[in-house]
Amino acid sequence: MPDTSTSHRPGSALRARARAATTAELAMVPWLQVLGDEDRARVVADLEVADADPGDLVCKIGRRANYWFGVVDGLLKMTNDASVEAAITYSGLPPGAWFGEGTLLKRESYRYNIETLRRSVVAGLPIDTFEWLLARSIPFNRYLMNQLNERVSQFIAARETDRLTDPDSRVARSLAGLFHPVLFPGVGTLLRITQQELAYLVGLSRQRVNEALRALQAAQLIRVEYGGVQVLDLEGLRRYRR
């Protein structure tokens, strides 16, 4: 898991919190089900999870990638280095998201930060185990290729969303992206997210996000619940233009 220097807060060490995953946490790892018994046993032995606090950096720009990371529970965001350029949020990362495979495949350093927005449980698979799976598991390779293909489509859609000038449309498209059934299978139809967290991801004020959510609910595309959003019409969210 990440070392102490990847956190915003001195003394906060995700590495020190690393532990074996529980049975319930393993059930939230979507790609485990494609593995054979022997491969699964090796992965379960090597997989680690850690409890991350809000503001912890799971990945930091410039750090060498040593793990393939996933979100078991909580909410993370992928961003640029706001200290040297305008702040940009590339993506939100809800439960079921696994990320960083491209960086591992190229054995590069991270070109983005991954920060936790709320208390989260983050999983990490060591790079050696990741490459071992690549070398022996056809089902895992197929899963990974599908993951990479869907991610390309996701970032194209995110680029289109950034160009939308209507806030309601931006919120609709951003929400649709967080309900992606392949990249974020742990979400289902109910996303646990606050309006402030959504505002961070979309780049709007909480008040403006609140207005957009009311408009989308009036259009019967979503239902706003306490602490979350229920999607009623995912295709409608993807196509929404005010």
- Give the CATH number for residue 220: 1.10.10.10
What pLDDT is recorded for position 114?
95
Measured CA to CA, the distance from residue 95 to residue 75 in angstroms comes to: 7
**Whether 142 and 53 share a structural domain:** yes
Do residues 147 and 187 share a domain?
no
- Do 137 and 48 lie in one domain? The reply is yes
Residues 10 and 48 in one domain: yes
Pair 141, 191 in one domain:
no
- Give the three-class secondary structure for 170: helix
Please tell me what DSSP assigns to residue 235.
Answer: H
Are residues 231 and 202 part of one domain? Answer: yes
> Which residues have a Cβ under 8 Å from the Cβ of 32 and sit 6 or more positions away?
26, 40, 43, 44
> Last residue of a domain, which of 151, 178, 206?
151
Q: In whole angstroms, give the CA distance from residue 236 to residue 218.
A: 13
Mean pLDDT by 10 residues, the chain (242 residues): 40 73 95 96 96 93 94 94 77 94 93 94 96 96 93 78 82 92 91 93 93 96 94 93 78
pLDDT at 10: 32
Q: Are residues 100 and 181 in the same domain?
A: no
Tokens of 41: 């046993």
User: For position 90, what pLDDT does the model report?
Assistant: 85
Distances (CA, A) of 17 to 5, 31, 123, 141, 148: 14, 24, 11, 30, 29
What residues form DSSP beta bridges with 98? Answer: 70
Owning domain of residue 49? 4-151
Which residue matches tokens 């289109």? Answer: 160
Of 177, 175, 181, the residue nearest 230 (C-alpha): 175
Q: How many helices (H) and strands (E) does the chain have?
A: 10, 11
| Same-domain check for residues 38 and 131 | yes
**What ranges make up the beta strands (E) of 48-118?**
48-52, 57-59, 67-73, 76-79, 89-93, 98-99, 113-116
Residue 66 located in a structural domain: yes
- 160: in domain: no
| Amino acid letter, residue 155 | F
Residue 85 neighbours by CB distance under 10 Å: 8
Whether 29 is in a domain gets the answer yes
User: Long-range CB contacts (< 8 A, 24+ apart) of 36-41?
Assistant: 36/137, 36/139, 39/133, 39/136, 39/137, 39/140
User: How far is Cα 113 from Cα 162, in angstroms, rounded to an integer?
Assistant: 19
Question: Would you call 149 exposed, middle or buried from its count of C-beta atoms within 10 A (0-12, 13-18, 19+)?
Answer: exposed
CB 212, CB 171: distance < 8 Å: yes
Q: Is residue 158 a part of any domain in this protein?
A: no
Q: Do residues 20 and 108 both lie within one domain? A: yes
Verify that 140 and 196 share a domain, yes or no: no
Distance CA 191, CA 185 (A): 11
